[in-house]
Amino acid sequence: MVDIATRVWNHKWKIDPIVRSLIDTDFYKLLMCQSVFRNKPDTQVTFSLINRSKHIRLADLVDEGELREQLDHIRSLSLSRGESTWMRGNTFYGKRQMFSPEFMDWFENMKLPPYHLEKRDGQYELTFEGSWPEVMLWEIPALATLMELRGRAVLGDMGRFELQVLYARAMTKLWEKVEQLRDVPDLRLADFGTRRRHSYLWQDWCVQAMLEGLGDKFIGTSNCRIAMHRDIEAIGTNAHELPMVYSALADNDADLQQAPYDVLSDWHAEHEGNLRIILPDTYGTAGFLKHAPDWLAGWTGIRIDSGDPAEGAETAIRWWKSRGEDPRDKLVIFSDGLDVDKIVSLQAQFAGRVRVSFGWGTMLTNDFKGLVKDDALAPFSLVCKAISANGRPTVKLSDNPNKAMGPADEIERYKRVFGVGDQVAREVVV
């Protein structure tokens, strides 16, 4: 039977929104936002979209009007009562009241600041300026919007059955991954795929497929809206933007060298247990660990987000041992460029030696590779980063020179200050 009201509603709805809620974002953005709200609320930052896959000419593929419509819609969003209740009342990482009443009061009244959009050389220049706690919340919605609009541009030309078969193929592909992962003993896997997902509905499908297919091996999702709706754990800790902005704010080389540890010192004061996860690669993992204060060795774990992941984990294990810690008590979270084969081999290599978990992103929520002509839906590498703080440029080095960003002279300065030597370049696919 046709539900006439629903049909009519569908017609009058001006757009089918890509981002439906302010909590359709990664959990760690909210955790970091609260930290920034507490510790650096007045910092002025600029975030910018950066397409690392230059061959994807986004401005040729995505209509500017549609993009503006989606971004305007995101700016119209505010926290709903139910979302606020969930954030205030839910248990995150075993803790109640993770978000303070002061932060929630502010977040409930927050709307995202304006955006600046221009086309240049077949790409969109999309930037956001303003106070850090507000601007930082643009990252995930902006990325998800561009990723999905690029997909919609391709899907728009397809027939009804072609479309159905496309999703049939994508479902089959994902389910085959789930079936492979199901057999991996002691696996612990989370969805980290919000930013580069094919679409919200598809991410939601992927999460439900993992819930059914992996059972306890699926530990949760980084997406707060999906975590809330599916009643599962929201997962995430912190990201490069904290050391990047803290470092940009440093007035001299000595302060700069200290900045990444200041980030974790603030974090230490706020969080405990499984939220105490080191992200060591912003300015090179080796140097970061070498100069780290002893209290950091007491943290729960480390997240490996660039460079060779096995090498990163081995480095961490050596470091823990050198600081008198037992690696078997420590958690290693792999979150860079994962797909089934890599998950299986990393689990085999490190299970029993450390506690292992995986944050699976793009190849979970956007593996449409090879499914349409010209591979027009293959995922690509889009990021949205803090590029300046209080007027100073930010820098990221990471353990892969292909992921480095910032002005060339500043990159050289950071390399010198952090003692980063030769690095092995690795292809950045997603």
Q: Name the segment binding a copy of itself (CB under 8 A); options: 22-30, 149-157, 164-172, 269-277.
A: 164-172
Please enumerate in sequence order all residues whose Cβ is within 8 A of that of 114, keeping only pairs 6 or more positions apart, or say none. Answer: 75, 128, 130
Nearer to a copy of itself, 213 or 419 (CB): 213
For position 408 contacting a copy of itself by CB under 8 A, the verdict is: no
CA angle 33, 335, 303 (to 5 degrees): 70
Q: Name the segment binding a copy of itself (CB under 8 A); options: 58-66, 208-216, 284-292, 310-318.
A: 208-216
> 200 and 18 in contact (C-beta within 8 Å)?
yes
For position 369 contacting a copy of itself by CB under 8 A, the verdict is: no
For position 229 contacting a copy of itself by CB under 8 A, the verdict is: no
Least separation in angstroms between residue 24's CB and a copy of itself is: 21
**What is the rounded CA–CA span in Å between residue 120 and residue 1?**
49
For position 9 contacting a copy of itself by CB under 8 A, the verdict is: yes
Q: Which helix (H) or strand (E) holds 7?
A: helix 4-12
Least separation in angstroms between residue 158's CB and a copy of itself is: 10
Q: Which of 20, 38, 75, 169 binds a copy of itself (CB under 8 A)?
A: 169
For position 375 contacting a copy of itself by CB under 8 A, the verdict is: no
For position 167 contacting a copy of itself by CB under 8 A, the verdict is: yes
Least separation in angstroms between residue 63's CB and a copy of itself is: 26
Interacting residues with a copy of itself between 144 and 163 (CB under 8 A)? 159-162
Least separation in angstroms between residue 176's CB and a copy of itself is: 9
For position 164 contacting a copy of itself by CB under 8 A, the verdict is: yes
For residue 26, what are the CA distances in angstroms to 118, 179, 194, 408?
26, 26, 7, 30
Q: Name the segment binding a copy of itself (CB under 8 A); options: 146-154, 168-176, 183-191, 280-288.
A: 168-176
> 282 and 243 in contact (C-beta within 8 Å)?
yes
Count CB atoms within 10 A of the CB of residue 404: 19
**What is the rounded CA–CA span in Å between residue 241 and residue 201?**
28
Nearer to a copy of itself, 120 or 160 (CB): 160
Q: Over the range 173-188, which residues count as b (16 or more CB within 10 Å of their CB) and which as e? A: ebeebbeebeebeebb
For position 209 contacting a copy of itself by CB under 8 A, the verdict is: yes
> 246 and 271 in contact (C-beta within 8 Å)?
no
Query: Interface mask (CB under 8 A) for a copy of itself, residues 77-116, using x and -?
Result: ----------------------------------------
Q: Smallest Cα–Cα separation from 243: which of 230, 257, 233?
A: 257
For position 53 contacting a copy of itself by CB under 8 A, the verdict is: no
Interacting residues with a copy of itself between 173 and 202 (CB under 8 A)? 175
Q: Which of 53, 100, 131, 208 binds a copy of itself (CB under 8 A)?
A: 208
Kindly give the pairing relationship between strand 189-191 and strand 277-278: unpaired
The overall longest dimension of the chain from CA atoms, in Å, is: 70
**What is the rounded CA–CA span in Å between residue 332 and residue 313?**
7
Nearer to a copy of itself, 3 or 326 (CB): 3
List residues binding a copy of itself (CB under 8 A).
1, 3, 5-6, 9, 159-162, 164-165, 167-169, 171-172, 175, 208-209, 212-213
